[in-house]
Amino acid sequence: MKKLELILSKYDFQKRQIPVNQSEIDSIEKLIGFKLPEDYLYFLKNHNGDEAFIEKEFMILWDADKLLQTNIEYEILEYLPSTLAIGGNGAGEFIAIEKNKNDEFRIILSPFIGLDAKDHIIIGDSFTDFLTRLDNSKEWFS
pLDDT at 26: 93
DSSP helix/strand/coil, 113: coil
Residue 125 in any domain: the answer is yes
Residue 105 in any domain: the answer is yes
Residue 141 in any domain: the answer is no
CATH code for position 58? 3.40.1580.10
DSSP helix/strand/coil, 51: strand
Helix axes 22-32, 64-73, angle to 10 degrees: 30
| Tens digits of residue pLDDT in 67-119 | 988 999 999 999 998 999 999 999 999 999 999 888 899 999 999 999 999 99
> Which residue segment(s) compose the domain that 124 sits in?
2-135
pLDDT at 100: 85
DSSP helix/strand/coil, 93: strand
Phi, psi of 68, rounded to the nearest 5 degrees = -65, -50
pLDDT band at 141 (very low <50, low <70, confident <90, very high): low
**Interatomic CA distance for residues 43 and 13, integer angstroms:** 10
Q: What total number of domains does the chain contain? A: 1
pLDDT at 64: 87
Residue 67 in any domain: the answer is yes
What residues contact 23, with CB distance under 8 A and at least 6 apart? none
| Tens digits of residue pLDDT in 23-69 | 989 989 998 899 999 999 999 999 988 999 999 899 999 998 889 88
Cα-Cα end-to-end distance for the chain: 26
Residue 142 in any domain: the answer is no
pLDDT band at 21 (very low <50, low <70, confident <90, very high): confident
pLDDT at 135: 94
User: 95: closest CA among 61, 131, 57, 46?
Assistant: 61
- Full-model pTM: 0.93
